[in-house]
Amino acid sequence: MTTAHYLDQIAAAVEHRLREITAAPPGPYALVKEAMEYLLFAGGKRIRPSLCIASAEACGGDTDLALTYGCALEMIHTYTLIHDDLPAMDNSPLRRGRATCHVVYGDAQALLAGCGLLTWAYEVMARPGVEGRVDPAIAVRIIAETSHAIGWSGTMGGQSLDMIFTLRGQASVEELELMENAKTAKLLIAAIRNGALLARANDQALARLTTFGEKIGLAFQVADDVLDVTADEAKLGKPVGADVQQGKTTYADRLGLDGARAFARQLLDEALAAIASFDAQADHLRGLARFIVERAY
């Protein structure tokens, strides 16, 4: 199975599982529930669930359980996108080829929808522990680690730095790496670790997968910066060059397009080296790593 096929398969499974998760009738909360589901079901590559599932697979674990936890990560990722697009943040009109959540539902409902998805993701992570489908000790570890990854020294802190650097109009490469690692890489690393934790991976395997995640997390952002310059708007689903227009400092900006691509390639090599000792069960994970970097070529 090619990685493209694997991603399509997982995207369909994520869509299906997310429909199950969100099946409850909205009652009087129809507007904000619709706002929550608007971007959640607008496609997307479902990279985080894919990494979670492929990591569980690499460690010989239950991929169906990893699908549920992957959906929680996708809900978290969607929360960050809804909030990043708000007028108070990047003020973006377009996401995944559609008008952004706040454009359709207003700033207040979009802000609430983002927090609603974040909160719901935790219920999705906790519930299998309550119902005996996962060891509660593993569920609380996943919840604690994920919280740390997306909190003030993670995704949220990275976005805070992004806003500060954008206001300031410049950032050093070191600052950029710090910000991107927090904003993007830490949730990707959490996706990989969560899959491994569900599979009861040992500490050595966890450490190797963490290194893999660190490299891929950074490569992901470098590739995104390249795509921001080179991609079609239709393909990207958001305005091309938006980062540059907003005065954001990007890797493409600092290293040049070729330099950024070479850096992403180097990170891919380092990522694959970190999991060289894994057997063929890790091939989907390897394929995802290549996909993440090669979409910028």
Binding positions for a second copy, rule: CB under 8 A: 26-29, 31-33, 36, 79, 83, 86-89, 106-109, 111-112, 114-116, 118-120, 122-123, 125-127, 129-130, 135-137, 139-141, 143-144, 147-148, 150-153, 156-157, 159-161, 163-164, 175, 178
CA 208, CA 226: separation in Å to the nearest integer? Answer: 27
- The residue among 171 and 289 lying less far from a second copy, judged by its C-beta, is 171
**CA-closest candidate to residue 263, choices 228, 291, 293, 292:** 293
Taking the alpha carbons of 9, 15, 18, 24 in that order, is the dihedral positive or negative?
A: negative
Shortest distance, position 146 Cβ to a second copy, whole Å: 8
- The residue among 159 and 250 lying less far from a second copy, judged by its C-beta, is 159
Shortest distance, position 153 Cβ to a second copy, whole Å: 6
Shortest distance, position 6 Cβ to a second copy, whole Å: 30
- The residue among 174 and 232 lying less far from a second copy, judged by its C-beta, is 174
Shortest distance, position 10 Cβ to a second copy, whole Å: 25
Shortest distance, position 214 Cβ to a second copy, whole Å: 17
Strands 94-95 and 98-99 turn out to be antiparallel
- The residue among 144 and 276 lying less far from a second copy, judged by its C-beta, is 144
CA 10, CA 17: separation in Å to the nearest integer? Answer: 10
- The residue among 130 and 262 lying less far from a second copy, judged by its C-beta, is 130
- The residue among 41 and 122 lying less far from a second copy, judged by its C-beta, is 122
Distance, first Cα to last Cα, the chain:
21
Give the Cβ contact number of residue 4 at 10 Å. 10
Shortest distance, position 36 Cβ to a second copy, whole Å: 6
Shortest distance, position 276 Cβ to a second copy, whole Å: 30
Shortest distance, position 80 Cβ to a second copy, whole Å: 9
- The residue among 79 and 220 lying less far from a second copy, judged by its C-beta, is 79
CA 265, CA 212: separation in Å to the nearest integer? Answer: 13
In order, the DSSP letters of 2-51 are: -HHHHHHHHHHHHHHHHHHHT-S--GGGHHHHHHHHHHHTS----HHHHH
Give the Cβ contact number of residue 153 at 10 Å. 12
Give the count of alpha carbons within 13 A of 221, CB side only.
25
- The residue among 176 and 268 lying less far from a second copy, judged by its C-beta, is 176
Contact 215, 267 (CB under 8 A): yes
Q: Which residues face 135 on adjacent strands?
A: none
**DSSP code for 149:** H
